[in-house]
Amino acid sequence: MIRSPLMTVMTDAVMKAARSLKRDFGEVENLQVSRKGPGNFVSAADHRAEEILRGALEKARPGYGLVLEETGVVEGTDATHRWHVDPLDGTTNFLHGIPHFCISVGLEREGQMVAGVIYDPIKDEMFVAERGKGAYLNNRRLRVAARRDMADSVVYCGLPHLGRPAHPRFLHEMAAVMAVSGGLRRMGSAALDMAYVAAGRADLYWERDLQTWDIAAGLVIVREAGGFVTDCEGGLNPMSTLSVCCGNEVLHRELLGLLKKPLAR
């Protein structure tokens, strides 16, 4: 595990918010049987976790700006630093009592992501990375998988939500990937998808129409685990284009080629 002051600030904030989420997750499982449903409760849980994170980060690093899923952009007096915060990534899983969700916090310095923490409170798995210091899961150093054959690979993806215009393109991409890969998975948390690539549990991951807080921490973690991260067109700044494609060097290049295949007309 990385023992820097910055990582201590980030992990302490995440652990405080995680205690709140774990209590709320226990309650939401009970709400599944109610007629009204747990939607309003989950929204409140999301906001509570965000308030805890914001309070802890602002106290530890006064002046840093924030990009928050629920609150939006909070300008800081320090224009060189911004936190990108997702208090509950995997909201639909949480809503349905599925124990696969996380808290994600990334730090941007002068336009570059330099540190990330992704914490799964149910499995007690803390994925962390700081630029130049490696990536870790709890106390274990992370490396992306070394597979080189797409036929042996497990590929994670995101599905376009209802009302988004990307369904035809995704179906085309999915068909291309399914035809050559060992298997396709939709897990429901972009941040954990990236963390799992860093840990070698998934070989590849791609998704479009994301937000900065979905991918900020994961960018650092995958890169520090030896992985390659671009947007879905091969561009080097996923934070601006809000799409992501990641894996090891060989498979990442092959997946980009599949995603770039022209759509049949």
Residue 128 and residue 11 in contact, taking contact as beta carbons nearer than 8 Å: yes
Q: Is 86 annotated as a binding residue?
A: yes
Q: Is 21 annotated as a binding residue?
A: no
C-alpha 64/C-alpha 154 separation (Å) is 38
Question: Among residues 112, 59, 60, which one has the least CA distance to residue 84?
Answer: 112
Question: How do strand 154-157 and strand 204-207 relate by DSSP bridges?
Answer: parallel
Q: Is 12 annotated as a binding residue?
A: no
Q: Is 46 annotated as a binding residue?
A: no
C-alpha 214/C-alpha 178 separation (Å) is 25
If phi > 0 it is left, if psi is from -120 to 50 it is alpha, else beta; for residue 104 that is beta
Chain centroid, CA 126 distance in Å: 13
Angle at 169 between CA 216 and CA 156, to 5 degrees: 45
Q: Is 258 annotated as a binding residue?
A: no
Q: Known binding site for Mg(2+): residues?
A: 69, 86, 88-89, 214
Q: Known binding site: residues?
A: 69, 86, 88-89, 214
